[in-house]
Homo-oligomer: A and B are copies of this chain.
Amino acid sequence: MSELKVGLAGLGTVGAAVFRMLERRKAELEARTGRTLRVTAVAARDRSRDRGLDLGGVIWFEDPVALARDGDIDVFVELMGGDGDPAKAAVAAALDRGIPVVTANKALLAKCGVELAQRAEASRAGLHFEAAVAGGIPIVKTLRESLAGNTIERVSGILNGTCNYILTRMAEEKLSFHVCLGEAQRLGYAEADPTFDIDGFDTAHKLAILTSLAFGTQVDADSIYVEGIRQLTLADLEAADDLGYRVKLLGVAVRTETGIEQRVHPTMVPKHWPIAQVSGVTNAVAVDGDAVALTLVGPGAGGAATASAVVGDLFDVARGARGYTFGLPVAELTKAERAAMQRHEGGYYIRLAVVNKPGTAATIARRMADEQISLESIMQRRPDGAETARVILITYATTEEAVRRAIAAIEADGVISALPQVIRIEKD
């Protein structure tokens, strides 16, 4: 039986899980592909560390680029992470010599996806990255292959398990953001420096890749509007609940009249939507095509789930499956027209802390009317004895620009006493 020699760069949680999965499923994968998938070379920093893996007979490289460039391998698996070298140099080196690459590196693809796809195309080596978006959920294959007959209108998802864990616990247990962040850190769901997750950048990287696959555009992470979940309060989540919504950090890419709108921000979604019911660290992706609307739910991170996606890609390499990195030849990927966030249209939730004096509600309502914003509801509540009252506005569909102007005017009127909270609403 012919062998598929796997070179594995990165032996952390995911790398070790891939190694073990290939051993555990050896006979099955042989039967399914007609080839023996075997790790023949690895690159990792610390050779002395005990990873519980039998690395006898496996060639050890200190330098992942050397493994990619010189290793006796049929496929290079990049599990180091990072959007620069050595990950980039190693992936480029493998592709340039015609060796297919499997990677879980979303940051690298979001930043250098087009360049790497070009290298892959030039040498006819595949660049596979199912593990880079939504972990164990096969959304890359679904967009690139299964939905080839569809024109995609919208792709959106819960793409960061850390944020969804925090939002779920806040809502279900009436806890503050900071308490839930601490819990996430204690459980290993969030890093010591959680910025990358909770400020939306991780979601944005994944969304940039999905956008390219869904719309046939060049990956363009820079044009994504990004807001994280740091500023959300329990009061907002409770108000959303009262109104029939849940708050999720969504990545959304949608075809509009002015171009592709890409945005990451907390979003109020109707409770009955499948995506609203996704709780904890679980991820979900919804795709709206002209023929089919799908929702895929599953684990977005973790060693086993990520390894499952990596091994699925190795299965494709072993059976000789071919395809363009982002579905289309690089020359056919269009430079996406960016739809400006200013022109985003939708409903809005606006929470204002207002000073307690007569006429405040009238002032707010007038500023909204000035911008042609219709209100679905306006609720005012002043806790007993408090100096400020809380006003929550729900608007009908309007534009981001109008909302920002109205809020600026209200601020200038001097009737609000703290930063306003704005959450976009998605609904049927």
Q: Which residues of A contact B (CB under 8 A)?
A: 17, 21-22, 24-25, 28-29, 31-32, 130, 136-138, 141-142, 145-151, 216, 272, 274, 277-279, 289-299, 304-305, 307-312, 314-316, 319-324, 327-329, 332
Number of copies: 2
Find out whether the CB atom of A147 lies under 8 angstroms from the CB atom of B312: yes
Inter-chain contacts of A146 with B (CB < 8 A): 130, 138, 141, 308-309, 312
Find out whether the CB atom of A29 lies under 8 angstroms from the CB atom of B148: yes
Name the residue of chain B whose CB is nearest to the CB of A287. B298
Inter-chain contacts of A138 with B (CB < 8 A): 138, 141-142, 145-147, 294
Name the residue of chain B whose CB is nearest to the CB of A297. B295
With contacts A274-B297, A324-B32 taken as known, whether A148 is within 8 angstroms of B291 at the C-beta atoms is no
With contacts A145-B315, A312-B145 taken as known, whether A292 is within 8 angstroms of B277 at the C-beta atoms is no
Known: A21-B149, A28-B151. 11 other contacts (CB 8 A): A25-B150, A29-B149, A32-B328, A130-B146, A136-B294, A138-B141, A138-B145, A141-B145, A149-B308, A292-B298, A295-B297
With contacts A291-B308, A294-B137, A312-B146 taken as known, whether A31 is within 8 angstroms of B320 at the C-beta atoms is no
The CA-CA distance from A136 to B294 in the complex, in Å, is 8
Find out whether the CB atom of A319 lies under 8 angstroms from the CB atom of B323: yes
The CA-CA distance from A272 to B168 in the complex, in Å, is 13
Inter-chain contacts of A332 with B (CB < 8 A): 31
Find out whether the CB atom of A296 lies under 8 angstroms from the CB atom of B299: no
Inter-chain contacts of A314 with B (CB < 8 A): 149
Find out whether the CB atom of A292 lies under 8 angstroms from the CB atom of B136: yes
Name the residue of chain B whose CB is nearest to the CB of A27. B332
Find out whether the CB atom of B296 lies under 8 angstroms from the CB atom of A148: no
The CA-CA distance from A373 to B28 in the complex, in Å, is 40
Find out whether the CB atom of A148 lies under 8 angstroms from the CB atom of B311: yes
Could you pull out 11 A-B pairs where Cβ atoms are within 8 angstroms?
A28-B151, A130-B146, A136-B291, A136-B292, A138-B145, A150-B308, A274-B278, A290-B304, A295-B298, A319-B322, A319-B323
Find out whether the CB atom of B307 lies under 8 angstroms from the CB atom of A291: yes
With contacts A31-B332, A138-B142 taken as known, whether A315 is within 8 angstroms of B25 at the C-beta atoms is no
With contacts A149-B21, A315-B145 taken as known, whether A305 is within 8 angstroms of B291 at the C-beta atoms is yes
Inter-chain contacts of A274 with B (CB < 8 A): 274, 277-278, 297
The minimal Cβ–Cβ distance linking A221 to chain B, given in whole angstroms, is 23
Name the residue of chain B whose CB is nearest to the CB of A21. B149
Name the residue of chain B whose CB is nearest to the CB of A29. B148
Find out whether the CB atom of A149 lies under 8 angstroms from the CB atom of B292: no
Name the residue of chain B whose CB is nearest to the CB of A151. B25
Find out whether the CB atom of B291 lies under 8 angstroms from the CB atom of A304: yes
Inter-chain contacts of A141 with B (CB < 8 A): 138, 141-142, 145-146
With contacts A31-B328, A320-B322 taken as known, whether A149 is within 8 angstroms of B312 at the C-beta atoms is yes
The CA-CA distance from A289 to B25 in the complex, in Å, is 13
The CA-CA distance from A142 to B308 in the complex, in Å, is 12
The CA-CA distance from A332 to B278 in the complex, in Å, is 38
The minimal Cβ–Cβ distance linking A332 to chain B, given in whole angstroms, is 5
The minimal Cβ–Cβ distance linking A427 to chain B, given in whole angstroms, is 17
Name the residue of chain B whose CB is nearest to the CB of A146. B138
The minimal Cβ–Cβ distance linking A316 to chain B, given in whole angstroms, is 7
